Amino acid sequence: MRPENAARLAQQPKDADLPGLGQNYCIQCARHFITGKALNEHYRGKVHKKRVKDLKEEAYTQKEAEAAVGFTTDNGTRGGVRKSAVQDAIMTDLDQ
């Protein structure tokens, strides 16, 4: 997740339809809590810690997948062109 998105999610406008007016939100679990205390308790809990761990593993897997794409296109006639296009796409993505 990009830092600006995280900041936006952490500072949502008050929404009467959400628990705690949407002011106690766990980004990783995409869950709202009624109070800041409930949110803090959630942060210390098993569910949240497992979710954070899973997210870290997902990010790692995604990185591996992108690296694999960059190295598997070297297969002959159009390989060179495709490889550089893929790497440009990855670089552009990282810059955002």
Question: What is the contact surface with Zn ion in residues (CB under 5 A)?
Answer: 26, 28-29, 48
Token look-up 């159009």 returns: 78
Beta carbon nearer to Zn ion, 9 or 29: 29
Shortest gap between Cβ of 57 and Zn ion (angstroms)? 16
Write down the least CB distance from residue 64 to Zn ion, Å. 25
How far apart are CB 15 and Zn ion at their closest, in Å? 19
Residue with smaller CB distance to Zn ion, 35 or 84: 35
Residues in the chain: 96
| Alpha helices in the chain, H assignment, sequence order | 3-10, 36-44, 46-71, 79-95
Contact 52, 44 (CB under 8 A): no
- Cα–Cα distance measured from residue 20 to residue 8, given in angstroms and rounded to the nearest whole number: 17
Residue 40 vs 62, nearer CB to Zn ion? 40
